[in-house]
Structure 1
């Protein structure tokens, strides 16, 4: 399986994270790269450095206002007397239609949904090349490759068109899906991260040309809380093109695979010609977020179930945090897919 990663993705090294009022080390550590790369190579992936496709494929998803913010905000932040090393919001608008301030502090609040997406000097560089990795992998599928893997770090599925959140800045899975759509494909995005892909849902929610399906821990008591409920089916032209399958906390392999079959049935009914898998590994029973209880063997079964669709498939890395089995879980899902 061809795979893509750029060394510049190491540049993002976030420090700040807050949970339940406590300031903690950020779980989205650069060390994830080393463990994921080892896991992918164990599954037979041969990594390539992505070419620079430019900003246009990214701007097809994200607003120019937001991209300007991401590229400039850290330098502007450092000019604030007494500012911290990372851009962290402390105020948010009540609505997206509220005023757009000139202040760096105000714009941080507008473009960052939470405190889990701190922006440092290397954030834009890393996010840009994570997106380029996903773009290069999408282009592989367009060229006739049956499967590819993008080690996209930082991840992306919580990023909306103009809003970062949950460790995410550029929505790599959405960028890849749009790239494939514009090349003539009919893409479906299948998100198997433990957290709902709220950014991906938001980007495509009023559209019928991209199907979005997400299996995740029930957000009634789990991040991202406000999105990911079963009644969210799309709006306008997109009504019926968004599918959420929230799962009870602690759901294990068998129950998960049963719901996954519902997801793949919707992909088939949509008539997808290509599949983008937002590949979160944090549904693992030993992941620090402890939302679901998928085993390493269960990930192989998930990979095999996805392969049964028979579609050209792009795996875009999303979550999956530091634990001893992180690399093994990636090996398992990719091997399960290939062996099937």
Structure 2
């Protein structure tokens, strides 16, 4: 299987995020790259660097106002007297409206939805090349590839069109899906991360040309809390084109696979001719976020179930955090898919 990754993605090295009122070590560490890279290679992946398709494919999803913010905020932040090494907002608007602050501090609160997406010196460059990796993966699908794996890091599925959040800055899965759609394909995005892909849902919520489906821990008591509930089905032209399948904490292999079958049925009903898998490995029983109880053999079963769609499949890396089995879990799902 072809795999895509750019070395510049190492440059995002977040130190902190807010956890229960404490400034805690950020779990979205660059070391994830090394572990995931090895896991993909163990599944026979052959890595290549992405091509630079420019800002156009990214701007097809994200507003120019937001992209300007991401490109300039760190340098502007450093001009604040006594500023910290990372851009972390302390204030958020109760209602986002036409009012747009001029200050770096105000804009950070406007564009960063939570305290888990700190921006440092290398963040924009890493996020840019993470997105370009997804674009190159989409182009492989347009070129006739059956499958490809994109090591997108930082991840993307919590990023809205003009909001960063949950370790995410550019929505790699959405960017890839839009690239596929503009290339003449009919994409579905299937998010199997333990956290709901709220940014992806928000981007496509009023559209009927991209299907969004997510299996995740019930957000009633789990991040992102305000999105991912079963009644959220889309709006306007997008009504019926979004499916959320919230699951109980501790969901095991069999329970997850049963929910996945419901998700796959919806993808088939949409008539998709390509599927983007927003690949979260944080459903693992030993993941630091401890949401689900999927096992390493369970990932092989998930990969095999995804192969049953018999569609060109683009795996875009989302969550999955440092633990002993992270790389093995990636190997397991990719082998399960390839060996079906």
TM-score (norm 1): 1.00
Whole-angstrom CA distance in 2 between matches of 1:198 and 1:272:
21
Q: Does 1:119 align with 2:119?
A: yes
Task: Show the counterpart of 1:175.
Answer: 175
Look up the match of 2:291.
Answer: 291
C-alpha distance after superposition, 1:95-135 (max 9, x if no partner) = 12151000000000000001100000000000000000000
Using the TM superposition, name which of 13-22 and 158-167 deviates more: 13-22
Unpaired segments ≥5 residues, structure 1:
none
- Could you tell me how far 1:17 is from its partner in structure 2? 1.2
For residues 229 and 185 of structure 1, the distance between their equivalents in structure 2, rounded to whole angstroms, comes to 28
SS across alignment from 1:267: helix
RMSD between aligned alpha carbons? Answer: 0.5
* Structure 1 counterpart SS, 2:220: helix
State the alpha-carbon separation in 2 of the partners of residues 176 and 28 from structure 1.
Answer: 22
The 5 A counterparts of 1:111-260 are 111-260=111-260
- Other-structure match for 1:89: 89
Q: CA shift at 1:21, angstroms?
A: 1.2
DSSP 3-state at the match of 2:193: coil
Structure 2 SS opposite 1:177: helix
The equivalent of 1:58 in structure 2 is 58
Partner of 2:44: 44
Q: CA deviation at 1:87?
A: 0.3
Report the secondary structure of 2:116's partner residue.
coil
Whole-Å Cα distance in 1 between the matches of residues 171 and 95 of structure 2?
A: 21
CA distance in 2, matches of 1:96, 1:81: 27
Tell me the SS of whatever aligns to 2:18: strand
**Residue range with higher mean Cα deviation, 93-102 or 269-278:** 93-102
Partner of residue 12, structure 2:
12
- Cα-to-partner distance string for 1:218-241 (whole Å, 9 max, x where unaligned): 000000000000000000000000
Write the distance in 1 (CA, Å) between the matches of 2:87 and 2:57: 26
> Distance between the aligned counterparts of 1:169 and 1:35, measured in 2?
22
- Long gaps (5+) in structure 2: none
1-structure distance, mates of 2:15, 2:99: 30
- Quote the offset at 1:335 in angstroms: 0.3
Q: Secondary structure at the match of 1:164?
A: coil
Distance 1:12 1:19 in 2: 20
User: How far off is 1:284 after superposition?
Assistant: 0.2
Deviations 1:256-276 (A, max 9, x none): 100100000000000001000
Partner SS state of residue 188, structure 1: strand
1:48-75 deviation line (CA, Å, top 9, x unaligned): 0101000000000000000000000000
**Number of residues paired by the alignment?**
340
SS of equivalent to 2:306: helix
Shift of 1:139: 0.2
Q: In the aligned structure 1, how far is the partner of 2:291 from the partner of 2:234?
A: 25
Partners in 2 of 1:65 and 1:189 — Cα distance?
A: 26
Moved over 4 A (4+): none
Match of 1:109 in 2: 109
Match of residue 264 from structure 2:
264
In the alignment, what sits opposite 2:315? Answer: 315
Q: For residues 21-56 of structure 1, what are the alpha-carbon distances to aligned partners after superposition, in whole Å with 9 as ceiling and x for unaligned?
A: 122100000000000000000000000010100000
Secondary structure in 2 matching 1:287: coil
What SS class does the counterpart of residue 260 from structure 1 fall into?
helix
Match of 2:274 in 1: 274
The separation in 1 between residues aligned to 2:130 and 2:230, in whole angstroms, is 30
Structure 1 CA distance for aligned equivalents of residues 309 and 286 of structure 2? 28
